Chain A
Amino acid sequence: MSRIVVTGIGVISAIGNTVAENRMALQDGKCGISTLSLLPSKYAGLMPFGEIKITTEELKQKLRATEHGITRTSLLALHAFDEAIKDSQLSHDEITAIDTALIGASTVGGMCLTDELYNDANKNEGGSEYLSSYDCASVNIYLQERYKINGPVNTINTACSSSANAIMFGVRLIKAGIVSRAIVGGVDSLAKFTINGFNALHILSADICAPFDEQRKGLNLGEGAAFLVLEKEEDAANKKIYAEVSGYCNANDSFHPSSLSDEGDGPYLSMKGALEVAGLTADKIGFINAHGTATENNDMVESTAMLRLFGTPPAFASTKSNIGHTLGAAGAIEAVYSILNLTRQEVYAGLNCHQPISATGLVPVQAYKKMPLQHVMSNSFGFAGNCTSLIFSTI
């Protein structure tokens, strides 16, 4: 059975428009969470967000993407997608081959266009240019049409674990022999819809978030996109290989629609299952990119599950204090960050944790450092208890 390897990566987030920019920012402990300046919302000035400081118009010009009905979400996806396929040096023939899949994820889709959606859904006027752009699938259909992708295309939405599940689906498609390669990832843009939804659940913080801190008060929403190119190891003989996707597992907590159980069965099972697929014992994991949203519930439960599984957990940190919680993009962005950990043999500071959670005493990585790493785990836990863990390993 071939190993499935990553041959290209692309990312855009509040701390950088490219992989290199993101890495530099992570090394420097940069925080991209700030006041909303582009999205018109009552919450601009009230709460911080991981907003990408490029307007939608600027993205259209930069990417030469002025297609009818294109949304900010599709543009962010395109930005990261472009970088990933160039990085992987996929040829036009490979991109358009019938055995190349595109598996993406989004929770917002075109719903970032709140006013247009409101008018169209209530049939207030004759119909905007965005009528076929609202659903989550519109992003991947846009990429498919722009790049003339002929292989299987799919969109997954399981809230915050969406793009982690997309990565897992892509790996499995290759292993099943249905495709030879898969471009996988996810995107979400900031939207009044999600801002108001999370605020109604009282899980947004008025301060910059502090994952795993005793005084944490909730999450900051962010936006971004990331894509990875997955291939069979033997097909990548002449390419640079970043890492192997060695482990993956999805499990369900099944406790409550919007919070995890105290025992953390979902997170525990997804991490354990990923280890089993990878054929690794827990002690082999050198670092965990935690889901770490900085909500009271998630960080406590994730910590409990880490203690349950690892006894003494490895080094861990959340990158959500750098870029916010990017929802449908989180799994993919954090996969790229985990790959950076591995390929650079380094870990980045988990920002804003000044006092560990008293019940666990667990302290995330406090400062950038070089570190020998063979296996890195990345966690993504979503609404309805949907938990996914991925493991990346050095080749």
Chain B
Amino acid sequence: MLYIHQSTCISPQQTFLEVDLNTVHASSDNKLKVIEPTYEGIPPGILRRMGKAVRIGVGSALPLLKAVSLDGFIIGTANGGMEDCIKFLNQIIQYDEGLLTPGNFVQSTPNAIAGQLGLLTKNKGYNITHVHRGLSFENAAIDAMMMLHEYPSNNYLLGAVDEISAYNYNIDYLSGWYKKEMLSNKELYQTNSAGSIAGESAVMFIVNGDETNAVARLRGIQTLHTTDENSIEKQVNVFIQKHLPDEEKIDLLLSGENGDNRLSKYYTVVESSIGKTTARFKHISGEYATASSFAVWLATQILTTQKVPSHMLQKSGQPSIIKNILIYNNYKGAQHSFILLTKGN
């Protein structure tokens, strides 16, 4: 059993330490970039080396590192330090494989985030980085669930990070995953075109097997690889039957609808199947491989406050009680996940 306790989030909205989800910060140039805090606690000697992904990953974890003694770090990131990776690649081309500085190379490895966290805390426990594209966070969460099953009294830092590097953006733009037309994030769901807008975040959770004072319980998580919406429709019902007792119900569907008209069929079948209040989040997070981690963080906020920010509601109407939240997300229409969260006691 996995219980979520404290959490932090650096995102394009006001979410770090002080949370204000009622104000929607606007996108710029079809990108939702994070609001970075001043980082207290990262020694300057280490901070200077960090690319953005490592910086926001480590920065978001810092407040939690002091909260509890951790037994390991379990991180999901699809692209890791991609910016550093391409900077190093640019050096290779520019200097024709000549004299190159190693700093970018060392920081570019996806496990630089988890590795840096281990270094900062001198933590010798389990340290892993999952990089399975749009299911990087989900695999990290499954890993954390297994670790807590194996070591029930341990505490782990479970998290996910992905940044908009100029280079990632270019590659995904060329593939047609981002809008060709300029728009504001506030009109994301009104467009009828392919693609979405880019986003980024660093989300960290302290998780353990103790239900006391837990904010939420991760009751179930399922990943799927398919392009068939009928399969999604079938599987969401199987998932709910498996993880939710008959006497309970889903109170809120948190949907990863991202404004890409090619993907709306998946969200439509799930919304029809669930038939409950649907809230959407990608207009405030943007689209990226680990956006589901932001959704889980949002869900913990909603479970605590018992309120859905109105701009997230697909149709009007706040649920009166929010106990069970189902998150459905997909990445590039091929990697899908269902995550069921229940309010802690």
Contact = CB atoms under 8 A, between A and B. Distances in A.
Do A and B belong to a common assembly? yes
Interface of B: 78-80, 85-86, 88-93, 96-98, 100-102, 105-112, 114-116, 118-119, 121-133, 135-136, 139, 142-143, 145-146, 149-150, 167, 170-171, 173-175, 223, 225, 334
18 contacts: A117-B86, A118-B89, A131-B174, A135-B78, A136-B131, A138-B133, A152-B223, A155-B130, A193-B85, A193-B89, A196-B88, A200-B100, A250-B126, A250-B128, A252-B126, A254-B118, A257-B119, A386-B115
Interface string A147-168: 0011011111111000001000
A169 B143 contact: yes
Interface residues of A, number: 66
Contact of A196 (B79, B100, B123, B174): B100
B119 A135 contact: no
A340 interface: no
A114 B149 contact: no
Contacts, number: 188
A3 interface: no
A141 interface: yes
Contacts of B139: 152, 154
A127 interface: yes
A385 B115 contact: yes
A200 B127 contact: no
Contacts of B150: 172
Contact of B142 (A114, A152, A192, A196): A152
A269 B110 contact: no
A197 interface: yes
Chain B interface mostly = helix
Contacts of A193: 85, 88-89, 92
Contact of B131 (A118, A157, A169): A157
A197 B173 contact: no
B89 A114 contact: yes
B183 to A, nearest CB: 20
Interface of A: 41-43, 107, 111, 114, 117-118, 120-123, 126-127, 131-132, 134-138, 140-141, 144-145, 149-150, 152-159, 165, 169, 172-173, 176, 178, 192-193, 195-197, 199-201, 250-258, 265-266, 269, 382-386
A168 to B, nearest CB: 9
A158 B132 contact: no
Contact of B115 (A137, A199, A250, A384): A384
B109 A385 contact: no
Given A153-B132, A197-B106, 8 more contacts: A42-B97, A121-B86, A137-B136, A154-B132, A158-B127, A192-B92, A192-B97, A193-B89
Contacts of A169: 128, 143
B106 A201 contact: yes
B109 A107 contact: yes
Contacts of A254: 118-119, 121-124
Contact of B97 (A43, A134, A258): A43
Given A123-B173, A127-B175, A137-B133, A257 B115 contact: yes
Given A123-B174, A250-B126, A137 B105 contact: no
